[in-house]
Structure 1
Amino acid sequence: MRTEADTLEKLRGRLAEEAQAEGLIDVAYRTIDSPIGSLLLAATDQGLVRLAFANEDHDVVLESLASTVSPRILRTPARLDTAARELDQYFEGRRWRFDLPLDFRLSRGFRLSVLEHLVQIGFGATESYTEVAAAVGNPKAVRAAGTACATNPLPVIVPCHRVVRSDGSFGNYLGGVETKRYLLDFERRTAIAGSAR
């Protein structure tokens, strides 16, 4: 026997399919569970535009996307299946690099340069904010490199967690220091186990 929740979910699915077929969705989103909590994934036709931690308040993030990208936002889980699958593989230790198309429209200028560099930092490796600033051509912009990491709209996928202070301490992290610690420890252990094979 079908419950009211099942009927509502089926209706939402049909609405999403029809809206997508008509080209009425500019931003599709879904949430997934992960070892670091609930993650919001949002994508445009160009690619993944936002990944948000639970502590950011997913509703606030969606409101921000509505004002900065488009108000035509709809929960469309199937459109983000590839992103969800790659994140699952990452947290299982089977994926060390993401192959997703990314939409960097929420970052510009120096911040965008930093994000483009971050994807080059290897799984299980770290760089200091000073090294990141130098790598993007502005060695004196250490604080700006930190700001670029702090405002990264695609954490985990664009691995700002791999950037630490020069003394090796973690610094701040959008998902919280414990999340950064978890990701760095997880990647280090996984990389060691992978190289031992």
Structure 2
Amino acid sequence: MTSSGATGNPNGDFALDGVDTPVGRVTVAVSSTGLCGVGWGDRAPVSGRLPTVVDHRRTAPAVAQLDAYFRGELRQFDLPLDLGGVTGSTLIVLQMPLDTVPYGSSVTYGELAHRSNTGVPARGIGSIMGANPIPIVVPCHRVLAQNGLGGYSGGHPGEGLRTKRWLLTLEGVLQPTLDWPRPL
């Protein structure tokens, strides 16, 4: 998976599409250079920035890989990423889960702060993860608080922690319980 901090799409458009998942509909936005947004429901993850179009040719790889992930058949995404406008410490911190926290594992905000070597404290790591424009693919759900799940801005309104728990159970980080069965 490749990522770029600079958008290759300054005057272009974003192709939007969606996939229905066990945690609700997920919408993807793809620029001319890569996946640039993942959102929940039909809310466009890049709304208001540039015009949006329907272009299934451009969105098909992201939709197919997200669908396979939610079926438990994909453990690592292989998509070009466009993190347009994300720079400096924020880009380094967002890259860390991609590079150092594989499927089936987790890290605390504090550990990620240390690994990033950016000087960003644990609370700052949480803020950066909460603003992640490409959740699931950039696996911010694998970053936990020292004493529990922490927060999660992904998911439908009011469903963030439930969604995070679902994703972590799917990946085997959390074990199923009687009140929380394995997702698949």
TM range (shorter): 0.7 to 0.9
> Which of the pair is proportionally richer in strand?
2
2:81 is matched with: 102
Instruction: Give the deviation of 1:134 after TM superposition.
Output: 0.6
RMSD over equivalenced CA pairs, Å: 2.1
Structure 2 residue aligned with 1:93, among 68, 72, 90?
A: 72
The within-5 A match list for 1:112-191 is 112-120=91-99, 121-138=101-118, 141-167=121-147, 169-175=148-154, 176-188=160-172
Structure number with greater CO (CA < 8 Å, separation at least 6) is: 2
Q: 1:28: which partner in 2?
A: 15
From the superposition, tell whether residues 183 and 35 of structure 1 become closer, same or farther in structure 2 (CA, over 3 Å): same
Aligned AA (2:108): S
Instruction: Say whether the 8 Å CA contact 2:130–2:152 is kept in structure 1.
Output: yes
Q: Distance in 1 between matches of 2:134 and 2:34?
A: 11
Q: Determine the C-alpha separation between the residues in 2 that align with 1:157 and 1:140.
A: 22
- Which structure has the larger Rg over C-alpha atoms? 1
Which residue number corresponds to residue 58 of structure 1? 43
Q: Secondary structure at the match of 2:82?
A: coil
- 8 A Cα contact 1:32 1:38, kept in partner: yes
Secondary structure of 1:119 counterpart: helix
Contact kept, 8 Å, 2:36 with 2:134, in 1: the verdict is: yes
Kept in 2: contact 1:32–1:39 (CA 8 A): yes
- 5+ residue gaps in structure 1? 1-23, 192-197
Q: Post-superposition shift, 1:93?
A: 1.5
Aligned residue-pair number: 159
Shift of 1:96: 0.6
Contact 2:109/2:125 (<8 A) preserved = yes
Match of 2:57 among 78, 89, 93: 78
Structure 2: gaps (5+ residues): 1-10, 155-159, 176-184
Aligned-pair identity in percent equals: 32
For 1:62 and 1:122, the matched residues in 2 are separated by 27
Q: Is the 8 A contact 2:94 2:129 kept in 1?
A: yes
2:171 aligned counterpart, secondary structure = helix
Corresponding position of 2:3:
none
Could you state the TM-score of these two structures normalised by the residue count of structure 2?
0.79
